[in-house]
A = this chain, B = another copy of it.
Amino acid sequence: MADRDRAGGSLVDRLAGEMRQRIASRGLVPGAKLPSIRALAESGGVSKSTAVEVYDRLVAEGVIQSRRGSGFYVAGHTPPLSVADVGPRLDRAIDPFWVSRQSLEAGDDVLKPGCGWLPPSWLPEDGLRRSLRTLARANGNALVDYGTPLGLPALRQLLARRMAERGIEASPDQILITESGTQAIDLLCRMLIEPDDVVLVDDPCYFNFHALLRAHRARIIGIPFTPNGPDMDAFAAALEAHRPRLYVTNSGIHNPTGATLSHATAHRLLKLAEAHDLTIIEDDIFADFEEDPAPRLGALDGLDRVIQIGSFSKALSASVRCGYVAIRHDWMERLVDLRIATSFGAPRLSAELVVRTLQDGSYRKHVAALRERLARARLRTAQHLDEIGISRWIEPRAGMFLWCSLPDGVDAAELARAALADGVLLAPGNVFSLTQSAGRFLRMNVAQCGDPRIFRVLSDRVARA
């Protein structure tokens, strides 16, 4: 008879389950050698015969393979994983990929207040159509040849000017054009961190930071987030306790809360970063949504230990893939080499389109109108939510997100599952929370809240919970 643990489950079940999970989450990859029977028995605190049973079962399932005289290995052809099997999973609905995949895959019949971008009709289609026509008449090299390693000079110059308007001094040769904001962070992680390095994020934060940092095998530590930025006492304690290499944040209009950094927090944060030699990636992807810019770490620090990234997916187009990094000059060479190694050329045609669209006089008008439209949508959405008894954590100064607190007894993940059955995609709070401490929160995208059915479904589901 197999050992049993205190919870009454079979130890074989538990150990086999843990190993399946490590394989599913890539903690162990196809072909990796597994611990010996003896080592498994010791680390699991079980008898050798129990360890043998665990491996026998996983061999029978095809998850691992036994190689004669050599030991046990993760099977080469690992069985397919469902999305929910990837990464730590405290609750099926709150997997970081859940909202991404649902948002990208949902048909046009699904309402998407949980998604992280604007509806297509809010974006400057006409400007893009004009840019495409202009580009069709451009010099042939722009259409067919690789660009320069840093990316299109005209776009880098334009970005340098835009950053200067926000108090960030970056010369064009401190700017690298990337395929997206996400790729920008990914490249930086490749340059800056090693497996098992500690990285700080906000709790809550943009959920894809978790997925991205896990792909780099970082150890992620969440810092509680306040309406003024990260909790500075917790931040200081984490620096002491974990010696992190990196802090990744979007300080501008924080995702998911919509909060902005206070000057005091920004200043204290940079002092701590300096004392602990911490590098900071400041994701400024929502910069265009802000009328009066809140403090930016990159501006205060002069891009010394802060690296800014951004993209054009949010205010211009998500179809045109283009992002950027602004970084201290002496770190650029290595970044360029890494980019060539891992994706070769800069996205030239996308950059040509972006620079034409940004230079078009209509873009500033579009952005100004967008800010007002978002302000109205925030107000209107807040009123609807008030009626259902859903309150806001803060009233954001800008942006598309409201971080909403559900009435007592309503669990956001359960609500999201139920609402999806009604054709409404929500973003439950724990998707954004490393510590799973946001189970009563929802991130609402006000630009996607125009359809009154959303509030009928919410009201109905909240009442039933």
Chain A 302-328 per-residue mask, 1 if CB under 8 angstroms from chain B, else 0: 000100000001001111110000001
B194 x A29 contact (CB < 8 A): yes
**A101, B340: Cα distance in complex, Å:** 8
> In the assembled complex, how far is the CB of residue A341 from the closest CB belonging to chain B, in whole angstroms?
4
Chain A interface, number of residues (Cβ within 8 angstroms): 96
A183 and B342 in contact, given A321-B321, A349-B321 (Cβ under 8 angstroms):
yes
- A105–B149 Cα gap in the complex (Å)? 7
Q: Say whether A125 faces chain B, with CB atoms less than 8 Å apart.
A: yes
Chain B residues with CB below 8 A from A365, complex form: none
Complexed CA–CA distance, A332 and B141 (Å): 35
Please measure, in the bound complex, the distance between the C-alpha atom of A318 and the C-alpha atom of B86, giving whole angstroms.
Answer: 34
Tell me the minimal C-beta distance from A11 to chain B in angstroms: 28
Query: A120–B140 contact, CB under 8 A?
Result: yes
Would you call A333 and B81 a contact (CB within 8 A)? Answer: yes
Is A344 a contact partner of B215 (Cβ separation < 8 A)?
no
If A128-B144, A143-B317, A145-B319 touch, whether A338 touches B215 (CB-CB below 8 Å) is: yes
A26–B340 Cα distance when bound, in Å, is 16
Q: Is the CB of A318 within 8 A of B331?
A: no
Contact residues of A between 353 and 407, Cβ < 8 Å to B? 353
Considering only CB atoms, which chain B residue lies closest to A276 in the complex? B76
Set of chain B residues within 8 Å of A29, measured between Cβ atoms: 192-194
Chain A 103-131 interface residues, beta-carbon cutoff 8 Å to B: 103-105, 117, 120-121, 123-125, 128-130
User: Please, which residues of chain B bring their CB within 8 A of the CB of A121?
Assistant: 140
Q: Mark A186-205, 1 if CB is under 8 A from B, else 0.
A: 10001111110100000000
Contact of A148 among B31, B104, B183 (CB under 8 A): B104
Query: Is the contact region of chain A dominated by helix, strand, or loop, or is it mixed?
Result: helix
Interface residues of A in 42-70 (CB under 8 A from B): 65
Q: Is A348 an interface residue (CB 8 A)?
A: yes
Given contacts A215-B190, A334-B81, A350-B321, contact A180 B145 (CB under 8 A): no
Is there contact, CB below 8 Å, between A211 and B144?
no
> In this assembly, does A21 line the interface, its C-beta being within 8 Å of a C-beta of chain B?
no
Q: Give every chain B residue within 8 A of A117 (Cβ-Cβ).
A: 145-146
- Considering the chains assembled together, what is the distance between the CA atoms of A125 and B82 in angstroms? 43
Interface centre among A148, A316, A349, A350 (most CB of B within 10 A): A349
Contact A76 B348 (CB under 8 A): no
Closest B residue to A245 by CB, please name it: B31
A288 at the interface (CB under 8 A from B): no
Contact among B80, B100, B305 with A330 in the assembled complex (CB-CB below 8 Å): B80
A104 to chain B, nearest CB (A): 5
The answer to whether A343 touches B182, judged by C-beta atoms less than 8 angstroms apart, is yes
The 8 Å CB contact of A142, one of B82, B305, B319, is B319
A337 in contact with B83 (CB, 8 Å): yes
User: Can you spell out 14 A-B residue pairs with CB atoms less than 8 angstroms apart?
Assistant: A30-B245, A30-B279, A77-B328, A80-B330, A80-B332, A86-B337, A101-B337, A104-B147, A129-B137, A132-B133, A132-B135, A179-B183, A215-B341, A321-B345
* Interface residues of A, Cβ cutoff 8 Å to B: 26, 29-32, 65, 76-77, 79-83, 86, 97, 100-101, 103-105, 117, 120-121, 123-125, 128-130, 132-133, 135-137, 140-149, 179-183, 186, 190-195, 197, 208, 211-212, 214-215, 243, 245, 277, 279, 305, 313, 316-321, 328-334, 336-338, 340-345, 347-350, 352-353
